Amino acid sequence: MTAKRGRGQRAGLTRQAILQAAVRLADQEGLAALSMRRIAAELGVEAMTLYHHVPNKNALLDGMVEQLLSETVPPLGVSSWQESLREYAHSFLAVLSAHPNLIPLAASRPAMTPQNLRTMETVLESLRSSGFELTQAYDVVRSLAAFVLGHVAAHLDPIPACPPDQPRGRSIDVDAYPLFFEALKKSDPISRFDFALEALLHGFDASRTASPSSGPQAAGEVGPDER
Amino acid sequence: MTAKRGRGQRAGLTRQAILQAAVRLADQEGLAALSMRRIAAELGVEAMTLYHHVPNKNALLDGMVEQLLSETVPPLGVSSWQESLREYAHSFLAVLSAHPNLIPLAASRPAMTPQNLRTMETVLESLRSSGFELTQAYDVVRSLAAFVLGHVAAHLDPIPACPPDQPRGRSIDVDAYPLFFEALKKSDPISRFDFALEALLHGFDASRTASPSSGPQAAGEVGPDER
DNA sequence: ACGCTATTCTTACATCATAAGAATCGTCAA
DNA sequence: TTGACGATTCTTATGATGTAAGAATAGCGT
């Protein structure tokens, strides 16, 4: 066991070590347990010690998101742009799924790590060389990232709703929404992710400018923004 | 101005009124300002008073999200499933964009309000009568909602990244990621949203199992569409 | 008129982020 | 070796937070 340390006895702290401990703690005990004191305790140190490596708690939370994103695996080799995007999306999904407690963090403080930028650059390159306009390619990647984020965020179990009171026994009137609750039972988030991912990829393919095909049918061209 | 109230003098508080005040406060001063004391002050009341209408702060936050979602407009009339989904997405987008400070809340505590369920039911109906399998239809709606959420969440300005220190003048090495930063300047979130929305719709269309070519089919015909 | 209950306020406490400063160690110049 | 300095750590203290416990009041139904 670590003997108690005195006043100036180094503990060998690092920003990295702190972030990792914080992530580990949040993984195990949830975001609510993430206090400076608790993190410090986890490292065998007093709370104020952390402030020598991190300016404040907000910065620490930001750092945790960076830490997370650095766990994504960069796209392996060159392949079709679809495959690149699939890799990108799945890598993102895997990381977030591995740290469900951190999803609210990732959703509320998007970060751009060098790691992430490098991956983006690769994917952009892949898209460009497949006939996408640069601006379009960018929109594609960003949209994909947004979709992954929204997807994982949407799976935090929805709160029961039904304002506060439940005069009737049922938590919510299931019979009033037959389609919804029927489908709810059969659907699962994982297959939904792949389903929507493929839909997105298909749609992206169709919106390539360089694509020779004229309007296939239905849903004409992009742009009928109305309200 | 309100004369000070005594001990049992009613203030006419309501769960609704509290939630609305909370939303207003968060809109104006940000989530960080959302303390029980501050909300109470906004209502001319002491903090503990709130606990008679709301069990605790978490429940209050949940309620705020419900409050938000209740602002979405239900889909007007019958039209193509694409138009239904567009309406759904844009209505969702509009609400979240109108309350940017609440986006992290909405992203971390998804809620199912009766309002929202009713809208979903309508959209599900529309999809089914257009040849979608129920399970697919459900995946479509959920995916769309997830996408909208992710989209708005991803536009909270990304944190600068670059761990802590900036030895070089630049906050991040722009030249190392030419494609990304080139595209960054030209792209804007709004057009990206519509772009990706159309892509999704297109992809959904392609993934319909039973694809009756087109034409004025079921769903209770498309009547005169003006109101 | 009188008590009952819902509503409100008061007080109190543990916990939080963090400011200010004191103690200690390692290191390097002399 | 010595001595000073800077980096790291701990101590103490402050104001804010969520909320438990209970006291006071007002208006209601009887």
Domain boundaries along the sequence of chain B:
15-55, 77-210
Kindly determine whether the C-beta of residue B5 is less than 7 Å away from any atom of nucleic acid strand C.
yes
- Alpha-carbon span B22 to B39, nearest angstrom: 6
Q: Return the nearest residue to D12, CA–C1'.
A: A48
At A222 the pLDDT is 38
At A33 the pLDDT is 96
Smallest Cα distance from B2 to chain A, Å: 29
At A101 the pLDDT is 97
Per-residue pLDDT reduced to its tens digit, A82-141 = 999 999 999 999 999 999 999 999 999 988 888 889 999 999 999 999 999 999 999 999
Confidence of residue B171 (pLDDT cuts 50, 70, 90): low
Task: Please classify residue A2 by burial: count the beta carbons closer than 10 Å to its beta carbon, then call 0-12 exposed, 13-18 middle and 19+ buried.
Answer: exposed
Q: Strand C: which of residues 39-78 in chain A lie with Cβ below 7 A?
A: 47-48, 51, 56-58
Per-residue pLDDT reduced to its tens digit, B113-160 = 888 899 999 999 999 999 999 999 999 999 999 999 999 999 886 666
Distance between the alpha carbon (CA) of A9 and the C1' atom of C27, Å: 15
What residues have CB less than 8 Å from A8, skipping those under 6 apart?
none
Looking at domain B77-210, its CATH class is mainly alpha
Interface contact A154-B145, CB threshold 8 A? yes
pLDDT tops 70 at residue B161:
no
Which residue in A113, A147, A219 is closest to B161 by CB distance? A113
What residues have CB less than 8 Å from A104, skipping those under 6 apart?
A31, A153, A156, B104, B107, B108
H and E: helices and strands count for chain A:
10, 0
Distance between the alpha carbon (CA) of B222 and the C1' atom of D27, Å: 57
* CB-proximal positions of chain C, under 7 Å: 6-11, 15-26
B175 vs A94: which has the higher pLDDT: A94
At A7 the pLDDT is 75
Over its length of 227 residues, how does chain A's per-residue pLDDT go in tens digits? 545 676 767 778 999 999 999 999 999 999 999 999 999 999 999 999 999 999 999 999 999 999 999 999 887 777 899 999 999 999 999 999 999 999 999 999 988 888 889 999 999 999 999 999 999 999 999 999 999 999 999 988 666 655 444 443 345 678 899 999 999 999 999 999 999 999 999 999 999 875 544 333 333 333 333 33
Per-residue pLDDT reduced to its tens digit, B9-55 = 787 899 999 999 999 999 999 999 999 999 999 999 999 999 999 99
Distance between the alpha carbon (CA) of B176 and the C1' atom of C16, Å: 41
- The phi and psi torsions of A159 (rounded to 5 degrees) equal -75, 150
Which residue in B125, B154, B183 is closest to A137 by CB distance? B183
At A173 the pLDDT is 74
Number of A to B CB contacts under 8 A, please give it: 275
At A213 the pLDDT is 40
Interface contact A108-B149, CB threshold 8 A? no
Residues of chain A found within 8 Å of residue B162, distances taken between Cβ atoms: 114
Two domains, one topology: B15-55 and B77-210? no
Strand ranges for A24-88 from DSSP E: none
Distance between the alpha carbon (CA) of B48 and the C1' atom of C13, Å: 15
What residues have CB less than 8 Å from A86, skipping those under 6 apart?
A197, A201
Which residue in A103, A117, A206 is closest to B177 by CB distance? A117
Q: B112 near B94, Cβ under 8 Å?
A: no
Looking at domain A15-55, its CATH class is mainly alpha
At B10 the pLDDT is 80
CB atoms within 10 A of CB A130: 15
Supply the mean pLDDT for chain A.
85
- Alpha-carbon span B63 to B111, nearest angstrom: 9
Confidence of residue B179 (pLDDT cuts 50, 70, 90): very high
